[in-house]
Structure 1
Amino acid sequence: MRVAVVGAGIAGLTAAWELGRRGHEVVVLDGADHIGGKLLSGHVGGVQLDLGAESVLARRPEAVGLIEAVGLADQLQHPVTTRAGVWTRGAIRPLPPTVLGVPSDLEALAASGIVDDVRAESVPVPDQDVSVGEFVTARAGREVLQRLVEPLLGGVYAGHADALSLRAAAPQLLALGDDPVTAAVAARAAASDAPVAPVFAGLVGGVGTLPQAVADRSGAEVRTGSTVRLVERSGDGWRLLTGPVGDVEEVRADAVVVATPAPATARLLAEVAPDAAFALAGLDYASVALVTIVLAEHFELAGSGFLVPPVDDRFVKAATFSSTKWAWVADSGRTVLRASVGRAGESRALQLGDGELVDRVLANLAEAVGRLPRPADTHVQRWGGALPQYEVGHLDRVATVRSSVASARGLEVCGAAYDGVGIAAVVAGAQAAVTRLLDELGD
């Protein structure tokens, strides 16, 4: 069977890998000039670094399993430290143990000085979906939401807790039940003697090296610079039109997997799955920028980085001390920091030029960690429409998409727009999409 995969991000490449290893012919089409989507590496200050996502969730098997399957097991590396802080109330304070911001160690929380007021109230979990903000505020207080949950959730979605869906964006909080603080404290106490497994993993040279390894091992034909303009049924199969307007090419396939962001997917599905297209057209995205700073000399930095609560109104939303966090970066002899800028609905900062972005980031870092030496090099990576916003009702939206797509035989969708934005979740979603597709086609 010949399958066309639209999109060469990690979702599309995983789908191609899964199809290829099961013996199918695959062509991957992407309008960009490179593969990998938001998994991208590049050289800054003579060091190859991630310019997008830098780690995978190691407690889930999917991403690590893919890394091992494509021959990169010897490049896996866990962080030297995951000891993060929260820059708030005039200092970088140690982030206490939490479940996505809900405190699980009240003594550590008190010692951190991050929160003055924490409650532990039991309020029945509603049957319908609500925002993370509504759920946490009623049971742990607004300060816990603003200074702990909000920055942690923002690090994942670059969104706002008062808009994000509890059931889609924070199911681990939902699982804590009516009294999440008491449940989180009890769970930590019960697990105190259990061995601690690494939470995250990265790759020497950066997670941005993974897409090429997947593409190479998939056996798929991968075409970049091939924007897909039309997906339509043709007899028992599918017809796609791709390429520049003046040189459109027809691609025929027995099945199609669309692994593009929601706006592009909505356009492509408008005729073949209109209900899915309508649902996806309403999915908002947050745009962000990552500013990488490389110092020629050593500069002492404690911990893996820090988060910033939006209530503190800083320009920088979070920072990672890459040369402290990753041994392979430290081995370069350079000091490397990454700072993120931008949240959902906050585009003004991203309209600044690269130079001003860097200057403002450096000014914030000087306040947080002290004045840095003059950088040897800097890099600004803008990710427009980077992170889908799983707002209240997101699971209903996904159900509508899946139902509509299922009505078109030989069609599947996958990507960060559906079941999770992390690499492991996206890989799992692509694997599930391929399974559904092959089960439907009896292959």
Structure 2
Amino acid sequence: MHAIVVGGGITGLAAAHQLLAAGLRVTLLEASDRLGGKLRTGRVAGVQVDLGAESILARRPEAVELARAVGLGEALRPPAVTSAAIWTRGALRPMPQGQVMGVPATAAALTGVLSDAGLAQIARDTELPPLQLGEDVAIGRLVADRMGHEVVDRLVEPLLGGVYAGDAYRISMRSAVPKLFEAAHEHDSLLAAVRSLQRAAPQRPPGEPVFNGIEGGVGTLAEAVARDCRAKGAALETGVSVTGLRRTARGWAAALDDGRSLVADGVVLAVPAAAAARLLAAEAPAAAGELAAIEYASMAIVTLAFRRAELARLPRGSGFLVPAVDGKVIKAATFTSGKWDWAAGADPELFLLRTSVGRYGDEGPLGWEDAELVRAALDDLGEAAGLTAKPVDALVTRWVNGLPQYPVGHAARVARVRSFLSGLPGLRLCGASYDGVGIPACVAGARQAASELLRTLPTGRREEAGE
């Protein structure tokens, strides 16, 4: 039995890996010239670093399990430091503890981040009528109504912006912070909901990290999965676009831009929503219409290398976030050589860091030349952290339409898409556009799509695959 996976990011690679484990013959097709999607490594001043995603949420098991399955278990590394900051009101201030994606459980520890008036507004949450959320709500609007705009602008927005590069006043609470959304349905106030989550949070065993990296960069995960898939007989092709999908008597036929047509029993679409919409336009026009409406944000990462000897002082902690309301160009900085021991050890004479630029609705700087982005990042770093040295190397990596947006109603939209596709046996959809943008969520979605695909195939063909 043969399955085609369209898309060679970590989602598509994880789906291929799962299908191979079930005994299928797999062909993976990737339109670009490389596999890995938003997982990508490169060299800056000779040091290999991540140019895309650079950490894995360790509290979810899926990505860590995949890393171990492809031989990277010994390469998993927790951060050397975990203390982060917010650059706001003219200073780097410690990231407040006791909050869930910026929504606080108390005003304590927020002095300096919020004004006195902003601090006073937090307690107002318990004086308002009980929460009534409905099917979904924008987290920024809800928090602003209950606790004031300062909490959103200086806490929620930079934290959510670091994940989605989005607008907190549009982002779906149900999709982006589902546990808080569920807790808020059970309590009268946001303060009570956050406190209930803190009480219910399982205690991590000593030494168990919240996040993991991988020696050599998280981008090596995609490379390792690809190697493992090839070793198991998968055909992984890059530079090949699927231009159309058509149902056949036995399954599906994929038309390729090189003139070939591949026939398969099943197809997994692990591509961004716009690409999936084009491929589904003929066979599932209603689903295609919904997918075409999903929006994306673009961003850029500016990676810089400095000589340690030329730094007046080394940046401390893992990095900092920047509220959009403060009007800076960068939205975050990660001190790579401080956060990851493996990066520091690769060249002890260098200190590497990276900044990110670009938010939904504020992508003007992405039109600048690379040199302009580097200068802007250096200006902000100088103001925030006192960095005045000149970098010995710099690299700008642009992720055009790289981050899907999850506005209010996103979960309902995804449910409608899957309902439309449920009548098409042998076809499933997965990826960051649907159920979460983090690596574990993408791996989990890939596994679910592969498992569902197998269940939709006729019994005889499942037996051929060894089920």
Fold match by TM threshold 0.5:
yes
| Aligned residue type for 2:35 | I
Change beyond 3 A, Cα 1:193–1:431: closer
* Counterpart contact for 1:57–1:424, Cα < 8 Å: yes
Residue ranges of structure 1 left out of the alignment (5+ in a row):
none
**Alignment partners' CA distance in 2, 1:56 and 1:86:** 21
Work out the CA distance in 2 between the residues paired with 1:325 and 1:115.
30
Give the match for residue 99 of structure 1. Answer: 100
Counterpart secondary structure, 2:109: helix
CA distance in 1, matches of 2:66, 2:115: 40
Cα offsets for 1:175-208 (capped at 9, x unmatched):
3423222443455467697646411101000000
| Pairing partner for 1:305 from 319, 341, 346 | 319
Looking at structure 1, the residues matched to 140 and 344 of structure 2 have their Cα atoms a distance apart, in angstroms, of 38
Q: Please, which moves more after superposition, 292-301 or 75-84?
A: 292-301
Q: Is the partner of 1:314 in helix, strand or coil?
A: coil
Give the 3 Å change call, closer, same or farther, for CA 146–275 of structure 1 in structure 2.
Answer: same
Q: Does 45-54 or 371-380 show the bigger shift?
A: 371-380
Answering whether residue 394 of structure 2 is matched by residue 384 of structure 1, we say no
- Alpha-carbon RMSD: 1.6
Query: SS where residue 412 of structure 1 aligns?
Result: strand
1:206 counterpart (202, 209, 217):
217
Percent same amino acid among aligned pairs? 49
State whether structure 2 residue 290 is matched by structure 1 residue 250: no
Name the aligned partner's letter for residue 184 of structure 1.
Answer: V
User: Are residue 337 (structure 1) and residue 353 (structure 2) matched?
Assistant: yes
Amino acid at match of 2:104: P
CA contact (8 A) 2:102 2:159 kept: yes
Match of 1:147 in 2: 154
SS at match of 2:303: strand
- Could you tell me whether the CA contact under 8 Å between 2:76 and 2:212 is conserved in 1? yes
2:455 aligned residue: 439
Q: Which amino acid aligns with 2:143?
A: V
Specify the alignment match of 1:279 in structure 2: 290
Q: Size of the alignment, in residue pairs?
A: 439
Measured in 2, the distance between the counterparts of 1:189 and 1:232 equals 51
Equivalent AA in structure 1 for residue 245 of structure 2: V
* Aligned counterpart, 2:465: none
Cα deviation code 1:195-251 (max 9, x no counterpart): 4641110100000011111111123110000011111112221111113xxx31111
CA distance in 2, matches of 1:173, 1:132: 10
Whole-angstrom distance in 2 between the partners of 1:115 and 1:75 = 44
Q: For 2:410 and 2:280, locate their aligned partners in 1 and report how far apart those are by CA, in whole Å.
A: 19
Match of 2:133 in 1: 126
Cα distance change of structure 1 residues 232 and 168 upon mapping to structure 2, 3 Å threshold:
same
Matched position secondary structure for 2:159: helix
- Runs of 4 or more above 4 Å deviation: 189-196
Tell me, in whole angstroms, the C-alpha distance in 2 between the residues paired with 1:128 and 1:437.
Answer: 29
The 2-side partners of 1:75 and 1:306 are apart by: 26
Partner of 1:157: 164
Q: How far off its partner does 1:407 sit?
A: 1.2
**What's 1:265 paired with?**
276
* Aligned 8 A contact 1:30 1:226 in 2: yes
- Tell me if structure 2 keeps the 8 A contact 1:131–1:161: yes
Corresponding residue for residue 83 of structure 2: 83
Distance 2:280 2:202 in 1: 49
Which residue of the partner structure matches residue 234 of structure 1? 248
Q: Which AA in structure 2 matches 1:361?
A: A
Corresponding residue for residue 368 of structure 1: 384
Cα drift, residue 372 of structure 1: 3.1
Q: Distance in 2 between matches of 1:192 and 1:388?
A: 30
Q: Residue 138 of structure 1: CA displacement?
A: 2.3
- 3-state SS of 2:92 partner: strand
Q: TM-score, normalised by structure 2?
A: 0.91
> Structure 1 residues 184 and 195 mapped into 2: Cα distance closer, same or farther (>3 Å)?
farther
Query: Alignment partner for residue 142 of structure 2, among 129, 135, 138?
Result: 135
Distance 1:396 1:308 in 2: 31
Residue 306 of structure 1: SS of its match in structure 2?
strand
Segment of structure 1 superposing worse, 211-220 or 357-366: 211-220
State the TM-score, normalizing by the size of structure 1: 0.96
In the alignment, is the contact (CA less than 8 A) between 1:101 and 1:149 conserved in 2? yes
Q: Does the CA contact (< 8 Å) of 1:100 and 1:173 recur in 2?
A: no
Equivalent position of 1:20 in the other structure: 20
Quote the Cα distance in structure 2 between the aligned partners of 1:288 and 1:194: 33
Per the TM alignment, residue 134 of structure 1 is displaced from its structure 2 partner at its CA by 1.8
Q: Secondary structure at the match of 1:384?
A: strand
Aligned equivalents of 1:266 and 1:159: distance in 2?
Answer: 22
Q: Partners in 1 of 2:33 and 2:305 — Cα distance?
A: 26
Structure 1 stretch 191-200 or stretch 231-240: which is displaced more? 191-200
Instruction: Please say if residues 157 and 387 of structure 1, whose CA atoms lie closer than 8 Å, have aligned partners that are also in contact.
Output: yes
Moved more, 411-420 or 101-110: 101-110
Q: Secondary structure at the match of 2:261?
A: strand
1:65 & 1:115 partners in 2: Cα distance?
44
Distance 1:368 1:281 in 2: 40
SS of 2:396's equivalent? strand
From the superposition, tell whether residues 373 and 250 of structure 1 become closer, same or farther in structure 2 (CA, over 3 Å): same
Q: Per the alignment, do residues 179 and 374 of structure 1 end up closer, same or farther by CA in structure 2, a change over 3 Å counting?
A: same
Q: Which residue type is aligned with residue 189 of structure 2?
A: D
